[in-house]
Amino acid sequence: MKSTPPPPRDRPPRRRAQAAAASLTLALQTGSGVTALPATRAQLRRWVLAVLENDADLTLRFVNRAEACALNAGYRKRSYAPDVLTFVYEHTEPRTRVHLSGKASPRLQADIVLCVPVLREQARRAGWPLAWRLAHLVIHGVLHAQGHDHEQDDDARRMQSLETLALQRFRIPDPYAESP
């Protein structure tokens, strides 16, 4: 007797191993000139948890061009407003948690700064909803906070793959795919 395949799911299956194990404290801030968050707290939290590997205290700060430009000039010596900046805090005595693997790992503490006008412009140019671009850059920032980078080609491919897989969970297309 043949069994009938299960019906398709409305939502992608949840990632249980890492997402369930990670504890997240999420603070949201708006800088001057930003009057409202561009997404709900629940959306932002889901996007962070999609790639969070360990416990974390994260702040997502939504800023205007002037603040993004000032931060970029002050910390990176670059004179433009970037879409996202990630600041990781290192402490001499990190709070730790023992994971199921038995290994202790420090609790990640980071601020991720997102420039709302730049994100809006990028979304408009790509023909994407703002939420899609925001999801991508939140995920990108969290990966940076966890030590991922895109300085070398292999690292860039790995980071892009992680971003694309996470975005697929939310039915957001691959931001790195060539346009038809």
Q: What is the mean pLDDT of residues 108-131?
A: 96
Contact criterion met (CB below 8 Å) for 31 and 76: no
Q: Are strands 104-106 and 96-98 parallel, antiparallel or unpaired?
A: antiparallel
CB-based contact 46:170 (threshold 8 Å): yes
At 40, the amino acid letter reads: T
Interacting residues of 138 by C-beta distance below 8 A, sequence separation 6+? 44, 47, 48, 60, 112, 114
For 108-136, what is the mean pLDDT? 97
The band of 19, judged by pLDDT with boundaries at 50, 70 and 90, is very low
Strands of the 56-63 sheet, one edge to the other: 24-30, 56-63, 108-115, 84-88
Residue with tokens 């019906």: 7
Weakest-pLDDT range from 7-21, 39-53, 92-106, 136-150: 7-21
Domain spanning 17-168, CATH architecture: 3-Layer(aba) Sandwich (3.40)
pLDDT in tens, 126-138: 999 999 999 999 9
